[in-house]
Amino acid sequence: MGLKNILFLLLLGLGVGLFVRNIRRLSRSILQGKPIGKLDRPKERFMHMLRLAFGQQKMHRNLLVGVLHLVVYLGFIIINIELLEIVIDGIFGTHRVLVFLGSTYDFAIAAFELFAISVIAAVLIFWVRRNLIHIARFRSAEMNGWPKLDANLILVIEVVLMLLFLTMNAADYALQIREEPHYLRAGLFPVSATLIPLFDSWPTANLILLERSAWWAHILGILGFLNYLYYSKHLHILLAFPNTFYAQLTPKGQFASNEVVTREVKAMLSMQEPDATQEIERFGAKDVTDLTWLQLMNAYSCTECGRCTAACPANQTGKLLSPRKIMMDTRDRAEILTRPNLETATQEATLLDHHISREELWACTSCNACVEACPIEINPLSIIMKMREYIVMEEAAAPADLNTMMSNIENNGAPWAFNAQDRMNWVNE
């Protein structure tokens, strides 16, 4: 094993090690949340995951965007199958070790190249849509700064990785044509073959340097991208699958009842004996640690595409609420709490008030449009309702109109300020 192989192993180990560390950090952050109940209907959940995460069913509501996104997704996944060969070559010092597959190998390389050029075209269209065309959901206030830069960095990284792949192949093919000993004839190159005339005047030594440089840059770029995911909205590449698997399968308008309240009401009505030994937990959510781990995974899965905010009727009428911002704020707060040696002010801060305002929470109409619009079934409404529950049941600080309505329900059995016997008096007027 030569020096280059040892260097490759060290870089590969470093990249994979950092990725494992990031996954652990992610798990630690998500598991700040409370456990969820027993999982039901696993087969239905698996099919739901295949449709939404792998098949990207909801993305195809806009056919052009759906097809382009599928091209980028499948292209990136399929092209990176080649990583298997790169890793073997890097460890053992071989070159295109899978060439023994014959025509299957030729077909694979040709498919990789066609996908690569398709990914480049799709990403350029996405860049134009995000930066040159006025699409409102890309220009909301919460997208200023890092979120906008992150989105564009991802597009640049994807183009660079595809260009490195094609450059590597083009230089490799040019060396095959020159019958260099280390570069045996292997693969079909329908895209990179068009670049061969650019290298006609290049010395062989320069071509080898270009091919090796592109090869190293490509694998290092992949390892770098793998570790960049943790800091990027593109974490949904990994989390979309568990997020859709654990998504709510019951009708979206069906809210879960609070078990503590149900138990207390039944005790008051003498339907069951009160349990004096059971400690009553905090109602609702003031901070991320009051949410479930599934709600925190929702936040980390957010693609920041803004479809939820674009579909939100409260946002459309100019109110402060943005479901996307709810998820981004939840993720940011969860991330803050994983940092060591937090300052006192940070420890005393909470998700409620310091990240998400009460005005945002009470602007929500609980219509579920955001959940319906999300391509991977993220549920901002569940977080909003939990935080509302805290405000109402822990602080007794609901808006005056809501307090009036609840008082009327308690006293009159209806939201209106009329006694049940007087409700039909209007008929006699």
Query: What's the pLDDT at 269?
Result: 75
- Mean pLDDT, residues 401-421: 83
Distance of alpha carbon 254 from alpha carbon 248, whole angstroms: 10
Query: What's the pLDDT at 273?
Result: 66
> Which among 394, 381, 376 has a CA at the least distance from the CA of 254?
381
Contact present, 334 and 26 (Cβ < 8 Å): no
292 SS3 class: strand
Distance of alpha carbon 90 from alpha carbon 212, whole angstroms: 11
Query: What's the pLDDT at 412?
Result: 82
> Which among 158, 156, 139 has a CA at the least distance from the CA of 148?
139
259-273+281-409: which CATH number, 3.10.310.10, 2.40.128.20, 2.60.120.200, 1.10.1060.10?
1.10.1060.10
Query: What's the pLDDT at 64?
Result: 85
- Mean pLDDT, residues 121-150: 92
Q: Where are the domains of the chain?
A: 3-30+62-237, 259-273+281-409
Predicted model pTM: 0.88
pLDDT at 1 over 70: no
Q: What would the pLDDT profile of 8-38 be if each residue is shown by its tens digit?
A: 999 999 999 999 999 999 999 999 999 998 8
Tokens, residue 215: 């090869």
| pLDDT bracket for residue 2 (50, 70, 90) | confident
pLDDT at 426 over 80: no
Q: What would the pLDDT profile of 311-338 be if each residue is shown by its tens digit?
A: 999 999 999 999 999 999 999 999 999 8
Task: Residue count of the chain, please give it.
Answer: 429
Query: What's the pLDDT at 93?
Result: 87
- Mean pLDDT, residues 260-282: 71
Query: What's the pLDDT at 396?
Result: 86
Q: What would the pLDDT profile of 361-377 be if each residue is shown by its tens digit?
A: 999 999 999 999 999 99
DSSP state of 135: -
Query: What's the pLDDT at 280?
Result: 64
38 SS3 class: coil
Query: What's the pLDDT at 120?
Result: 94
Q: What would the pLDDT profile of 373-405 be if each residue is shown by its tens digit?
A: 999 999 999 999 999 999 998 998 988 888 888
pLDDT at 153 over 80: yes
| pLDDT bracket for residue 274 (50, 70, 90) | low
Distance of alpha carbon 191 from alpha carbon 167, whole angstroms: 10
- Mean pLDDT, residues 263-283: 71
Query: What's the pLDDT at 384?
Result: 97
Burial group, residue 79, by CB count within 10 angstroms (0-12, 13-18, 19+): buried
Burial group, residue 344, by CB count within 10 angstroms (0-12, 13-18, 19+): exposed
Query: What's the pLDDT at 345?
Result: 64
pLDDT at 78 over 70: yes
Query: What's the pLDDT at 272?
Result: 66
Contact present, 215 and 90 (Cβ < 8 Å): no
| pLDDT bracket for residue 276 (50, 70, 90) | low
Distance of alpha carbon 374 from alpha carbon 304, whole angstroms: 10
